[in-house]
Structure 1
Amino acid sequence: MAIRKKSNKNPPVLSHEFVVQNHADIVSCVAMVFLLGLMFEITAKAAVIFVTLQYNVTIPATEEQSAETVSLYYYGFKDLATIFFYVLVAIIVHAIIQEYVLDKINRKMHFSKTKHSKFNESGQLSVFYFFSCVWGASILVSENYVSDPTSLWKDYPHTLIPFQMKFFYISQLAYWFHAFPELYFQKTKKEDIPRQLVYIGLYLFHIAGAYILNLTHLGLVLLVLHYFVEFLFHISRLFYFSDEKYQKGFSVWAVLFVLGRLLTLILSVLTVGFGLARAENQVLDFSTGNFNVLGFRIGVLASICATQAFMMWKFINFQLRRWREHSSSQPPSQKKKFVAAKGKPSKKERENGVNGTQLREKTPPPPPIQEAFLLKGQELFFLLLDLQ
């Protein structure tokens, strides 16, 4: 499906502006070449490597499964071709969401340039996180990983995985690889590129690591947990852009973010530090995909702990920055001003005597009922100032 962006200007063909404005059309044509290749016998063998999953193995089904045979998959170099094709698909889907959803909302809300870029980022990521979280949770339920936590490390290495599991990992790698050209297509600011590269690199490092080291079960659980927390943050930011008084979502996200980091560390230590450490087969064997040795376990735990510590450090800095901004935006207490002004005598009081003693002596004291009302009124005034 080609995406056409309306523009009054017609930039030169193959120029920078032409590629940016028509990148979805260009990528759609490239993806169509692979799909058309499936229709001809000469090119079908090459095109099928890009479009469908490779390295499938058919094994007899167990007694619990209704089918006679089950198709499982392992990984190999041909997966790079499949990832490339789905990178093209991710770029096309990204353009569809941007033009038909986010751009229409931006035109109605009239955001500033800063809010415009952040709104687009949160809009794209919230859709991806929600879809991935639901998809990953359905795999966890269908494969009984939730009901049996020992499946995270039992029967390691997990070299053979079902179709949905492999397709999930291929899609995840394709999405985060597509984020690199999107930095160019979306005209990302130079000062924002280092931050984008860091978190894109962290996602690719951990997802590819879980996929190559046959830790797909643990990786799936941690991804679903992380994506749920990130989805809550970005959806809260979208609501905040529509109403700046909205803060409840960020409060819930802050609590779940800390709990998510804690659960990630617990599951990682439980799986790698205890489950795999007690496994019988602890011999490095590349042919069988067994990486369960001491150095492997230390490296995995070190990378996970370092990433969680980095995320917590960024989270603490973010909360401190918000606290400073909130404190600086608060006006000085009007209650203190009122008390200070009350302590200074007015010009009329100074003329009548020191601190207006003569004036107060000439003024008759109020009746008891009026005095009670005045006291109550002062208490209510100070209470309203405190609430402000």
Structure 2
Amino acid sequence: MAIRKKSNKNPPVLSHEFIVQNHADIVSCMAMIFLLGLMFEITAKAAVIFVTLQYNITIPATEEQSAETISLYHYGIKDLATIFFYMLVAIIIHAIIQEYVLDKINRKMHFSKTKHSKFNESGQLSAFYLFSCVWGTSILVSENYISDPTSLWRDYPHTLIPFQMKFFYILQLAYWFHAFPELYFQKTKKEDIFRQIVYIGLYLFHIAGAYLLNLTHLGLVLLVLHYFVEFLFHISRLFYFSDERYQKGFSLWAVLFVLGRLLTLILSVLTFGFGLARAENQQLNFSTGNFNILAVRISVLASICLAQAFMMWKFINFQLRRWREHSSSQPQSVKKKFVTAKGKTSRKERENGINGTVTSNGADSPRSRKDKSS
């Protein structure tokens, strides 16, 4: 991502620079068209498909619930229109965070080009992960998924889901779809595009898979678990950019990352290997949304295991790279400590570092002045 510099010369309309500089305004106008469409009777039926959730079913409430009726939702082809609209909203929010928060911090910190790109990436993702974790946790608590782990596979297929659950999945898909045009808007470097596409594709593949296969309960739990670990990594990287001596966050993240991968595998094996495998109805039925057959269970479980193995491989490479960087930053030889007769360090030793040793960040330490006699 490059720093945008304002110039007096306006780029030609619809040129590359014009679209990049004004993409938030262009997308805002597109979103306003759908909102204005709700105001007129002729266009309201078409606009409502983009703005509101579709495929709601009203059913009588049980004795335990206070309301007379409740609304549940299932998925369909119209969800693509809703995802498209909220993808536009995600682009607008992305631009607001970039301009009013991240760019202001970048101007004060004077980051290098590499740190500038990584800081913007971590800033955007940490905000999204925090929002998703808080929202996803509230859904888990309200639906009692945490207190009752058997709800992950009980009463499968979970074709009817509450409003909050469906809206959560719609926004998740919209956010990760918006990441593709952001590669163009943020002028992502060519060497980083493939890495970005890979992890965006992995998110979309697994979130869409959980949504379409009616595995929304398990998918929500795994997403909240994964997002919490990723939030800790990106917030630690933000603190590291402000102060490179900050390393505690990465150490805590490393422990939780391994535990997160282990817990993900345990929950997946319990759901597909024990819960769904012992269900009575194990026949493929597209009309009822039942995909609980052996081939699907093995495919989904294998996909989750491969994703966890891929992340562990990336994690090990990251830790090895950090270890090499830490080793290379250490001085090749440690200077001997010279102590004066009174047991105090000399003036030259105090200038070089603490207790006569040279600091690892030599570029940031002040240079010692030469004596006039030399």
Tell me the residue number matched to 2:372: none
Q: Note the C-alpha offset of 1:8.
A: 2.7
Counterparts of 1:208 and 1:47 in 2: how far apart (Å)? 24
Structure 1: which amino acid aligns with 2:161?
A: I
AA matched with 1:197 = I
CA distance in 2, matches of 1:125, 1:284: 38
Match of 2:272 in 1: 272
Where 1:255 maps in the other structure, the secondary structure is helix
Is the contact made by 1:5 and 1:21 (CA closer than 8 Å) also made in structure 2?
Answer: no
Q: Deviations over 1:267-323 (max 9, x none)?
A: 000111110000000000000000000000000100000000000000000100110
Superposition pairs of residues 11-22 of structure 1, within 5 angstroms = 11-22=11-22
| Structure-2 residue corresponding to 1:250 | 250
Taking the aligned partners of 2:356 and 2:259, their CA distance within structure 1 comes to 37
Give the direction of change, closer, same or farther, for the CA distance of 1:131–1:280 in structure 2 (3 Å limit). Answer: same
Partner in structure 1 of residue 226 of structure 2: 226
Paired letter, 2:331: P
Amino acid at match of 2:60: P
SS of the equivalent of 1:58 reads: strand
Q: CA deviation at 1:142?
A: 0.4
| TM-score of the pair, normalised by structure 2 | 0.89
Residues 316-331 of structure 1: matches in 2 within 5 Å? 316-331=316-331
SS at match of 1:271: helix
Q: How does 1:91-110 map to 2 (within 5 A)?
A: 91-110=91-110
Q: Any residues of structure 2 matched to 1:349-368 within 5 Å, and which?
A: none
1:9 deviation in Å?
2.9
1:225 CA drift (Å): 0.2
Aligned length: 344
Larger Rg: 1
Q: CA deviation at 1:333?
A: 3.5
Residue in 2 aligned with 1:209? 209
Unaligned runs of 5+ in 2: 344-354, 361-374
Question: Which residue identity lines up with residue 320 of structure 1 in the other structure?
Answer: L
Per-residue deviation, residues 133-174 of structure 1 (Å, max 9, x unmatched): 000000000011011110000000000000000000000000
Q: Which residue of 1 aligns with 2:167?
A: 167
Query: Residue 145 of structure 1 corresponds to which residue in structure 2?
Result: 145
Cα pair distance change 1:249/1:53, threshold 3 Å = same
How far is 1:387 from its partner? 11
Q: Matches of 2:128 and 2:140 in 1, distance apart?
A: 18
- Please state which structure has a larger fraction of its residues in helix: 1
Q: In 2 relative to 1, CA 65–107 (structure 1 residues): closer, same or farther, beyond 3 Å?
A: same
Instruction: Supply the AA of the counterpart residue of 1:293.
Output: I
Does the CA contact (< 8 Å) of 1:210 and 1:216 recur in 2?
yes
Q: Which amino acid aligns with 1:272?
A: F
1:69-105 superposed Cα distances (whole Å, 9 cap, x missing partner): 0000000000000000000000000000000000011
**Partner of 2:79 in structure 1?**
79
CA distance in 1, matches of 2:35, 2:110: 40
How far apart are the structure 2 equivalents of 1:153 and 1:90? Answer: 32
TM-superposed CA distance for 1:5, in Å, is 9.2
Could you say which residue in structure 2 is the equivalent of 1:192?
Answer: 192
Letter in 2 for 1:297: R
Mapped contact 1:151–1:217 kept (Cα < 8 A): yes
Cα RMSD of the aligned pairs, angstroms, is: 2.0
Task: Give 1:183's aligned amino acid.
Answer: L
Partner of 2:41: 41
Residue 7 of structure 1 and its aligned partner are, at CA, apart by: 4.2
> In structure 2, what is the equivalent of residue 27 of structure 1?
27
Q: Determine the C-alpha separation between the residues in 1 that align with 2:225 and 2:110.
A: 34
8 Å contact from structure 1 (residues 5, 22) kept in 2:
no
TM-superposed CA distance for 1:332, in Å, is 2.3
Q: Give the equivalent residue in structure 2 for 1:283.
A: 283
Distance in 2 of aligned mates of 1:192 and 1:26:
26
Counterpart for residue 130 of structure 2:
130
Query: What is residue 347 of structure 1 aligned with on the other side?
Result: none
Cα shift at 1:328: 1.3
The residue that corresponds to 2:313 in the other structure is: 313
